[in-house]
Chain A
Amino acid sequence: DIQMTQSPSSLSASVGDRVTITCQASQDISNYLNWYQQKPGKAPKLLIYDASNLETGVPSRFSGSGSGTDFTFTISSLQPEDIATYYCQQYDNLPSFGQGTKLEIK
């Protein structure tokens, strides 16, 4: 099984800050990685697919990069509505998720 390790597990930042979350795969997964946002009490929402492609309708302040085993998710300028937990998910093999990063406002 492919293990996904996300860091940090929690993060506190100010409105307007640049925020970065990393995700590391236990083996090479090419670019087979997605990022999701989950707000409290809600279902997850797809933000980034194939490591770097922005899902339709998602604001351009969200971006993703990486390939192989190391991936990065970035919010260029944090907005209050971005408070959520973010998950990476690989699909090179049977799908699996990272443990999540809880983002809070400082």
Chain B
Amino acid sequence: EVQLVESGGGLVQPGGSLRLSCAASGFTFSSYSMNWVRQAPGKGLEWVSYISSSSSTIYYADSVKGRFTISRDNAKNSLYLQMNSLRDEDTAVYYCARDGGGGYSGSTFDYWGQGTLVTVSS
């Protein structure tokens, strides 16, 4: 069974940093691209970042470019999101989501974690 479990969320002051983790199991992690998607309280979904299976290709949304860094450790079956210079508007539930790969034509999020809440507030 595919499982994605996020951790690392919490309360942080504006300008602070936080590192999110996503532990993957139930599939060959090193074969799949991964994403972070966030959802502000009461709002819609916003794609944040993408990393290919080998980490050779990385993309960011304009809203986080230069402040967030996505990475992965295939030996540890783990995905990360380093968030620096956090702002009030970064407050959200952050989900890691698997990119479905060859069975789909493009970025299709076929499995999601339960999410971890990041609150940026003084």
Contacts and interface: CB of A to CB of B under 8 A. Distances in A.
B31 interface: no
A97 B59 contact: no
Given A43-B115, A49-B104, A50-B104, A96 B47 contact: yes
Interface of B: 35, 44-47, 50, 59, 61-62, 95, 100, 104-110, 112-115
Contacts of B112: 43-45
A36 B46 CA distance: 13
Contacts, number: 58
Nearest to B62: A1
A36 B37 CA distance: 13
Interface stretch (A17-25, A59-67, A70-78, A87-95): A87-95
Contacts of B109: 34, 36, 44, 46, 89
